[in-house]
Chain A
Amino acid sequence: MTHLAAWPVLLPLIAGVIVLFARAGGVQLQRMLNLLAVSGLVVLSIALVKVSQAGTNEVYLAGNWQAPFGIVLVLDQLSALMVAITSMLALAALVYAIATDTDKKGAHFHVLFQLIIFGLNGAFLTGDVFNLFVFFEVLLLASYGLLLHGGGRLRTRAGLHYVIINLLGATLFLFAVGALYGVLGTLNIADMALRVASLPQGEVGVVAAAGLLLLLVFAIKAAMFPLYLWLPAAYTHTSAAVAALFAIMTKVGVYAIIRVHGTVFGADAGVLAGYYMPWILGLGLITLMMAAFGVMAARGLREQVAYLVLASVATLLVAVGLNTPMALSAGLYYLIHSTLIAGGMFLLADMISRGRGRFEDRFESGYAVPGIILVGGMFMFAAVAMTGMPPLSGFIGKVLILNASLDHLWSSLILSVVLVAGFMMIVSMARSGSLLFYQVIPANEVNHSANGKVGTTAEINATGEPLNRISMLAVIALFMASPMLVLFAQPITAFTESAARQQYDNKGYIESVMSTQPLQERSE
């Protein structure tokens, strides 16, 4: 046993405390410390991915208590991947927040930022269901603070809905956990899987109901139909850096489904093996359709991007619901792509909104964005990646998922829904792009109203902000993930395949968790 698995949880917690006390040293000091901590986390998480590639589960016994009596943290390829994506996304979001002074709009932005990473990493690494609940609450409480950061009427209203639905989710989580504990007598995921495998006939019903209740809780987090209605409002009205970071929040729900349900109700679970899968697949397909309608009906760019995030989660749910290692591997590839690109897209939408002055991100012709060729080109790049057109990573991800679905009973339904939804998204992205970048109010027409003074677009555009180079850098860094995923598609798919195989190998997971021995006291 090494302490490796505990570091991604400890680092943000310690950094959060330090950043809190650094408040006395001013916001610049906080920024520096936060950047340092997040960069350190990126390095650490890449090292963890390297370690996990060996294919063994790195088990950490918290407090040196043997499983299932103590809480365990488990680092495998899936959790290492999630931690790595989180840290990269967080770094870009943080750079953007600093470049646009988002962090100065209220107190404790940097502390909450570290705490949400603490909660996310904890949720990705824990091997205990109750511990998962605690980490969920940690990340949710930090997310409430970040969501409301900066204030504003619409933001408060969206935040209120978000908080209330997540509190309901927490209550349901406790009901599910309580029911599972009442029957199984354990909350360690590996131990639960063992107990479910030898479940007496009379108790199958209770466990099945509790499992579905737990699925409902994760569905709220993952924004699965019909529980997605909180997402567009919350993501549209919060600040851009926070919305970009929240691109990983929905993925936490999907991860929890893969980890908890995939392990506890895996292939060895007897009658309960994979009984929840049709729900995920069916509801995922419905979510995808609803998201496509949302993308078409959106009135502003940020609302549209929020629905695109929903569509990417839905595609991911479909991949999980197919219930094969091949489909899961394709889903993981799509997860890397969609999280990073969606995060960048929120930042870009904010940049466009700032550049257009009083027109913000509404779909109507307005002033040209400063640096329109660069921004417009990036928008087109992101739209191609997000809607899944060749040659970027969205296309490869979708092809992999659809390829994995060919053997499934519902393959024709899955193919048609995914392709039709993709087509609808392409049409509406093309429409919004041409509206934002081609149908601009000509400069001389604007001149007329602005005291007849002649000047460049940027000057006339008094309320629009000029292009911010550093924030541009953050967006470009996130978008670069897409060509990288294409160029290195072979090693990355090899990694996701091995991660998916490891996730489907429940026996290996249970074995490594249950057999890890606590450290012996050193004799004198």
Chain B
Amino acid sequence: MEWLISLVIAVLTASGVYLTLRARVFPVVLGLTLMAYGVNLFLFAMGRLTIGQPAIIDSAATVYSDPLPQALVLTAIVIAFGMTAFLIVLALKACGELGNDHVDGLPLAEDKLPAGKSRVGETHNPIDKSQRQADRQ
């Protein structure tokens, strides 16, 4: 069983890392989720693998499984769940505001301006101006 669970953790984490390094937000979210699954299994395995042992006090039991990693995994699952939900909403917001789902929001024209070029006095584009006003606040 050990080789199976270590293989699962390895595959989940490796796919997670690969997806996290992609340039689009959606694969990144998936990658973070896969890594969270991987780390949850890892935490669980750190309490040593046992089968059919109780985690809380039982008068009939002689051997127990470690309850602490189970508590840790529960906490980690809840936190990862909340964070993923937040990230998805943020990704949607970014997609709406930046006009695409690239992590850097690149294809917008304003970002392609050379660094030294100033945009002061640029009034021909009213949308651009209101955008900048919004960015300032």
Interface residues, chain A, with chain B CB atoms under 8 Å away: 105, 130, 134, 137, 141, 144, 148, 150-157, 159-161, 163-164, 167-168, 170-171, 174-175, 177-179, 181-182, 187, 237, 239, 299, 353, 358-360, 362, 364
Chain B contact residue count (CB 8 A cutoff)? 42
Q: Which of B69, B105, B120 contacts A359 (CB 8 A)?
A: B120
In the complex the two chains form, what is the Cα distance from A182 to B48 in whole Å?
8
A174 to B80, CA, bound (A): 11
Inter-chain CA distance A204–B134, complex, in Å, is 54
- Tell me whether A163 and B90 are in contact (CB under 8 A): yes
Per DSSP, chain A at the interface is helix
Question: Could you tell me if B79 and A170 are in contact, using CB atoms closer than 8 angstroms?
Answer: yes
Bound CA–CA A472/B51 (angstroms):
65
* B94 engages A156 (CB within 8 Å): yes
Residues 15 to 44 of chain B near chain A (Cβ within 8 Å): 16, 20, 25, 28, 32, 35-36, 39-40, 42-43
The CA-CA distance from A466 to B98 in the complex, in Å, is 32
Contact of B103 with A by CB under 8 A:
yes
From residue B65, how far is it (CB to closest CB) to chain A in Å?
14
Q: A137-B79, A148-B90, A155-B135 are in contact. List 9 more A-B contacts (CB 8 A).
A: A130-B75, A137-B83, A150-B137, A152-B136, A160-B103, A168-B32, A171-B16, A174-B42, A177-B72
Q: Which residues of A contact B42 (CB under 8 A)?
A: 174-175, 178
Query: What's the Cα separation between A164 and B39 when bound, in Å?
Result: 16
Q: Which 4 A-B pairs have the closest CB atoms?
A: A182-B46, A178-B43, A152-B135, A174-B39
Q: Which residue of A lies closest to B115 (CB)?
A: A299
Q: Which residues of B contact A (CB under 8 A)?
A: 16, 20, 25, 28, 32, 35-36, 39-40, 42-43, 45-47, 68-69, 72, 75-76, 79-80, 82-83, 86-87, 90-91, 93-94, 97-98, 103-105, 115, 118, 120, 131, 134-137
In the bound complex, CA of A163 to CA of B87 (Å): 7
CB within 8 A of A157: which of B80, B83, B105? B105
Sample 13 A-B pairs with CB under 8 A, ordered by A number. Answer: A130-B75, A134-B75, A155-B135, A157-B98, A159-B90, A164-B87, A168-B32, A175-B39, A175-B42, A177-B72, A181-B72, A187-B68, A359-B120
Q: Which residues of A contact B134 (CB under 8 A)?
A: 151-153
The answer on a CB contact under 8 Å between A360 and B136 is yes
Nearest B residue (CB) for A237:
B135
Cα–Cα, bound, A141→B134 (Å): 24
- Closest beta carbon of chain A to B4's beta carbon, Å: 18
Does the CB pair B79–A134 fall under 8 Å? yes
